[in-house]
Amino acid sequence: MVSLKKLNNLKMQNISKSRFLLSVSLILLITGIVSTNSDVSETVFLQIQSFLSDYLGWMIILLANGFLVFTIYLLFTKYKNIRLGGPNATPSYTYVNWIAMLFSAGLGIGLLFYGVAEPLMHMSSFPGMIEGDNSFNASKAINLANLHWGLHGWAVYSSLGLCFAYASYNKKLPFRVSSLLGEKVASNKPLAVAIDVIAILTTVFGVTTSLGLGTVQISAGMAHIFGIEETFTNKVYIIIFITLLGLTSVSLGLNAGIKKLSQVNMIIAIGLLLLVFIFGPTVFILNALVQNFGAYLNTILQSATWTEVYNTSSWQNGWTLFYYTWWFSWAPFVSLFIARISYGRTIKEFIVGVLFVPSLIVFIWMGVFGNAAIYLVLNGIGDISQVVANNLPVALFTLYDVYPFAQPLSIISLVLIVTFFVTSSDSGALVASMLSSKDQSDIHDDSPMISRVTWAILLGVVAAVLLYAGGLTALQTSVVITGVPFAFIMVFC
């Protein structure tokens, strides 16, 4: 029997020093520069974001649509019945656990942050809105939110995730982006390392964006519920607390850590959804869900290819292009994680489970929370529109103020944000560790512990630095800057 010490030494040997050390060094260098030049960094971030959006916006939109068309096309090909891992492979997880994990890793914090706020923001400001026509504006607002969070984003995950899974389980290649680009790239070590380092940096900045959003929302929620002052110091304490929880979870491994947390996430999320639906304007929400679904299908081609070319505003840069690049930046992280948990699924099962099921959950979530907030605006109940305009992170908690048991609902939501936060940190650290490993010959290998712990700590550090450098602006622009380069790589996978 192999001793624990010998096993740990073997794990240490599995770290790709070039990928690990170069990635860590670059991340520390970037965070160091940003932290010591916060004002300049924010200006530079915004200028780079503006440049990429202005000159490459058309490409970003074409890529997002291309991934969706490609993924749906696979459902009608002879390849749809290929099983990931071979004809005799059996799934490692049940459908429920599988969906719970990919959803928790894929967008949990984002929906809690934007589920109420985004529809209200669109309702009051989007190109083409009709002043005084609340019915049209409300329907369009939900439609835009569904566009940003629905099929297009999950198509990015399913396309790259399927490539990862097939290459790793059927072709026996390492869980790395460079492995997907062919033997010539994989055998060229400097090029392969460079590509994998880009994927790692993209993963880190993509995950830290959501961690930053979660921190801001937790801080706003604590201020709203308990009157605790929102300061940068308190946000750092939140990040430290979550990072410690993440370290505990990442130490437990995939099955004992992420899987259990994902189960808790889904139970709490479903509970909140039902409470808002039952205690809110139930009939209004049901009618809106039907209308919203029809409007989404009816306008998807126009909405998904709109480039704002005939407008002088920059609305598209801050919303649709931001979201698409956010999905790109999360692609190596979420796609590899989804591939890691999808052993034994057929390609058809994979696409249905990764593309359509989460998108359906998004439509329901936006339909319930978004329409519950819109109902308040249409009927002049409370001042949620003004609150969202002035303090976006507190939108969810403001919605609860008109419900029975407002404080318990807010506290439960805080707990859910924390568990989603930990799940994202945990799975992000796991994926960064896998990308910086030499090989993953065993599908049940969660990669070296020292590597996972290092990445979990770095995720917290980077989130804190980006918040210090420019709050939500720095977080969002970092996504665009890292997401666009990786989009080029994805085309060749």
What are the sequence ranges of the domains in the chain? Answer: 16-491
User: Which residue's entry shows tokens 């965070």?
Assistant: 31
Report helix, strand or coil for 412: helix
For residues 257-265, average pLDDT: 80
Alpha helices in 17-124 (DSSP H): 17-36, 38-74, 95-114, 117-124
Spatial separation of the C-alpha atoms in residues 170 and 451, rounded to whole Å: 26
The structure's pTM equals: 0.87
User: Which residue's entry shows tokens 């489970």?
Assistant: 353
Residue type, 67: F
- For 202-223, letters b (16+ CB in 10 Å) and e give bbbbbbbbbbbbbbbbbbbbbb
Give residue 7's pLDDT band: very low, low, confident or very high (50, 70, 90).
very low
**Are 373 and 118 spatial neighbours (Cβ–Cβ below 8 Å)?**
no
User: Which residue's entry shows tokens 């969070």?
Assistant: 149
Q: Phi and psi of 441, rounded to 5°? A: -70, -25
* C-alpha neighbours within 13 Å on the C-beta side of residue 362: 30
Q: Over 50: is that where the pLDDT of 412 sits? A: yes
Instruction: For 148-190, write each residue's pLDDT tens digit.
Output: 999 999 999 999 999 889 988 998 888 788 888 777 777 788 8
Report helix, strand or coil for 345: coil
Instruction: For 294-331, write each residue's pLDDT tens digit.
Output: 999 998 999 999 988 887 777 888 788 888 887 887 88
Q: Over 80: is that where the pLDDT of 253 sits? A: no
- Chosen CATH of 16-491 out of 2.60.40, 1.10.3470, 1.20.1740, 1.10.150: 1.20.1740
Answer with the residue of higher pLDDT: 87 or 474.
87
Q: Over 60: is that where the pLDDT of 221 sits? A: yes
Q: How do the residues of the chain divide into helix, strand and coil, expressed in percent and rounded to 5?
A: 80, 0, 20
Q: Over 90: is that where the pLDDT of 217 sits? A: no
Spatial separation of the C-alpha atoms in residues 288 and 406, rounded to whole Å: 24
- Terminal C-alpha separation, the chain: 40
Q: Over 70: is that where the pLDDT of 456 sits? A: yes
Structure tokens that stand for 345 in this block: 């699924």
Instruction: For 341-396, write each residue's pLDDT tens digit.
Output: 999 999 999 999 999 999 999 999 999 999 999 999 999 888 898 888 888 889 99
Nearest to 431 by CA among 339, 361, 303: 339
Q: Over 80: is that where the pLDDT of 85 sits? A: yes
**Are 139 and 292 spatial neighbours (Cβ–Cβ below 8 Å)?**
yes
Spatial separation of the C-alpha atoms in residues 59 and 63, rounded to whole Å: 6
Spatial separation of the C-alpha atoms in residues 216 and 218, rounded to whole Å: 6
Q: Over 90: is that where the pLDDT of 452 sits? A: no
**Are 425 and 246 spatial neighbours (Cβ–Cβ below 8 Å)?**
yes
Instruction: For 93-133, write each residue's pLDDT tens digit.
Output: 888 888 888 877 766 678 888 899 999 999 888 887 888 78
